[in-house]
Amino acid sequence: MRIEYDIKLGFKDVMIRPKRSTLKSRSEVNLEREFKFLHSPKIWKGIPVMAANMDTVGTFEMAQALSNEGLFTAIHKHYTIEEWRSFLSFVSSNIYSSIAVSTGISQKDSEKLKNIISNFPDLQFICIDVANGYSEHFANYVKETRTKYPDKVIIAGNVVTGEMVEELLLSGADIVKVGIGPGSVCTTRVKTGVGYPQLSAIIECADAAHGLGGQIISDGGCTSPGDVAKAFGAGADFVMLGGMLSGHDESGGEIIEKNGASFKRFYGMSSETAMKKHVGGVANYRASEGKTVEVLYKGNVDSTLQDILGGLRSTCTYVGASRLKELTKRTTFIRVNEQENRVYNT
Ligand code: 5GP
């Protein structure tokens, strides 16, 4: 047994220090980024905020709404090939740079991925997603996927430490997804005791990825536009959101009316709800590691996007970053024991 005594930080432990700036208005801030990738020859341009590949977030409807604003969606892996076909038959053809097809690492997942890619070869992004990206089997799966799809942009995760980011990039990933346990409907830290505070995970993993020419996605734990800004400030190239994009018209599922208020169901992809829906129940050798909650219905996602992107632009003006790309360089975090004043919060 060993103990690391360095303090690891989450979003709630810091604030961003304001800096002298020459920017006059938030409208002068450019949130678009352009990325070249470590393995894939493709170039991506857009606002690097993405919807999580959860079936109550990363839906086709969400992809359409987000791509209109230049944002990205990791489409959840449970759509059938027919559903893909009908979606791709009516959306405009520039959707391909705004979506990833998600997959797990079973034989069945691999066959489904092959089927989807061979039917829709214009798809450019593959998101290989497992709860625990530390197994040798996972790295081997990333290698095989790179060999099969040399031109695709491969996202792989989740991990939280630099050495594993390097291993996945060297195995063929272009972008590594970072986050174990911070998610709003995740119970991994409670069920297993395993995790890593998200801000420190981003700082350490970004450093490792950028050293090799790769990128990272900060996945999970953002509860406000300020957290999204902190994730970018810490070095994330992309920020993935689950809970913040749940509860909208585009999030799938029915509206639930209760005591005069409207809600939508939102659940973790390892929750009992998800496992019952997609694989017929929780296998007897594992525990569910996700919650099922009802979140207030938030209407159309456009106003939420405006809130997130408006907040991010404002962060950039506070530190004098005219482009999102400059935010990390201009970020100084201060450690704090307080966040917002909650005196009028119920
Ligand atoms: P959020 O933005 O809601 O805080 O976090 C979203 C992320 O939580 C997802 O992208 C995914 O990485 C993670 N997640 C989703 N469902 C589950 C689950 O059932 N269990 C765990 N451990 N993590 C989950």
Pair 242, 183: CB distance under 8 Å: yes
Neighbours of 227 (CB within 10 A): 22
Which of 185, 202, 227, 304 to mutate to test ligand 1, by most ligand atoms within 8 A of the CB atom? 185
Determine which residue's CA is closest to atom 15 belonging to ligand 1: 268
Q: Looking at residue 272, what is its pLDDT?
A: 92
Question: CB–CB of 154/172 below 8 Å?
Answer: yes
CA dist., res. 320 & res. 324, Å (int): 10
Beta bridge partners of 159: 178
| Catalytic residue numbers, as ranges | 186
Find out whether the beta carbon of 56 lies less than 6 Å from any atom of ligand 1: no
Give whole-number Cα distances, 46 to 66, 112, 251, in Å. 11, 28, 21
Burial (0-12, 13-18, 19+ Cβ within 10 Å), 35: middle
Confidence (pLDDT) at 287? 76
Ligand 1, atom 24: closest residue by C-alpha: 186
> Is the shortest distance between the CB of 243 and ligand 1 below 6 Å?
yes
What are the C-alpha distances in Å from 178 to residues 22, 54, 106, 197?
Answer: 33, 16, 21, 11
Q: Is the CB of 131 under 6 A from ligand 1?
A: yes
pLDDT computed for residue 281 by the predictor:
81
Closest Cα to atom 22, ligand 1: which residue? 186
**Residue 332 to residue 316: CA distance in whole angstroms:** 12
Contact 64, 79 (CB under 8 A): no
3-state secondary structure of 154: strand
Angle at 10 between CA 158 and CA 229, to 5 degrees: 85
**Model pLDDT, residue 25:** 85
What is the rounded distance in angstroms from the CA atom of residue 20 to the CA atom of residue 296? 39
For residue 24, what pLDDT is reported?
86
Helix 225-234 × helix 301-319 angle, to 10°: 50
Token pair for residue 240? 């993935």
Give the distance (Å) from ligand 1 centre to CA of residue 322. 31
Q: Can you say whether the dihedral through the CA atoms of 301, 217, 213, 77 is positive or negative?
A: negative
Q: What is the pTM of this model?
A: 0.97
Pairing of strands 238-241, 215-219: parallel
Per-residue pLDDT at 280: 83
Rg of the Cα atoms in the chain = 19
User: For position 334, what pLDDT does the model report?
Assistant: 98
Low-confidence ranges of the chain (pLDDT < 70): none
Give pLDDT, residue 110.
97
**Spatial separation of the C-alpha atoms in residues 264 and 294, rounded to whole Å:** 5
